[in-house]
Structure 1
């Protein structure tokens, strides 16, 4: 059985663990998302053989845990291919984290397309319950800590979706329910239905949020916080734009060049690069990287419990975990950073 640093909790920045709204669950300031680089296909898999790919995924998870990242975030369709990230990391959790299950939070989601046919996406009871059970099998776990409905699905009554989440909590398949990508008014409606019908309330809302477009969450941050929920944000580095990767163009081996995600090469304009270089210089003056500055800005928002990062190698995990080492941004600094990023979206 692999071992971890016995001092992994000793030198964490103040406030590293944060409460999910009014629940009793704490999450680390930085959580590790498994959307890319943990599956069996895609650009990184083409560069790495199977053994190296597995060793790299293992090293990222181990590095994260040794740096206080106790939360690993999945979805049923993460890979690529769908299900591959859960399957690979299920083996890693079993081999490397077996004695530390009580120290980690494992989340998964269902809502986007997972399989062909009428029961492969959406917010219906059959899909959500079956998907949670399938995720548990792939992850080799007997329960999840958080299970999300991954997206708003207006075609299904919200009562049915929330009823499925309630069932999964009451049956012990997940400890907590959560929602993702809900607009603000849908979060409010969900909480109202749970209150009315006596259903388990979701404790966490996952939304996109980053410095280049602070309005990206569509009101979801406020609605969740006002309703006593926590918020965990994904894409806090804007798909890698808020790193040093694109300061001088689009590298041939980047995700933008490969068009393997939502980020496309034509997004990296001279105007955007000018904003990024100004932000990068500001970060340097604080003794930070651009990525660390972007995370520091996100995590300074009292509505936000945790920031989900993606990574392709352990050093990126380490760099993100150092985001709070220089201390929080003051209100004046937050305003300066926003001004430097203005009109870059």
Structure 2
């Protein structure tokens, strides 16, 4: 067995998923991003790329939902090609349900189809501040609107097909607007059931073509009982949905301030889970050590549910690539966390 193949097998046994979640690059930066995958990600053993595409692709099914500058099919195939060459799984993402706006700007779905808005009475401010009297963080679409899923599912199908992907990430994080009293469809509904209904609907659509749903896990954690609050957990009762959704959904369990051990909770509930880290490299290292420990010290059934680590990067793809350019001087803290995690796993994986 060649050395590389042997090392790969050892790495997989320690941590099956070694991922990066990052925004899709701009079209003009696509070649640079492809080179980054080849030169930086692959040699460090990254085998999963969650690519946050949203409306930055030249959709043919719904061209009205394209952003002004988008990746073309040709651009996407370049990314697909380099990932195939290096054994990297692509999981494309569109933020669904929540995150339909950011700051003072609506995202394309609600901008083009305002009738899908769960809270049309909440107007986008000229200048965004948090906190605010409307409780506006990000808008949501109404999960019970009769026309929204036809459009959403067509986007999912097109994106997964062009990326040749067997898995799709739907976001589903930080959903604050759900089951609002003024919504003619959602008012009075149980928010856990509403959330679970949307999750299962997306999951079932993907399952028709043997694809799997990935999602962030924060809305499935009880923010009050855990003390984790409204960001990394739920304070509007959606956490009960964890017992209402399909067990084959992959959970991306993110915590950035502390190495909270909720991966155990998801695994005990029967879900495959990856711990997701960000910019605090000391916390990221503890989280990495935890997931390896869980795989070693749990029961055989539980061991296989702890799938690994996903490093998240919340700047642009271009800024992360810049962080690997010694001539640039951006904030390198998220990059430090990324390097520490993957260098640590690589050291453990030496045969």
- The TM-score range, normalised by the shorter chain, is 0.3 to 0.5
TM-score after normalising by structure 1: 0.47
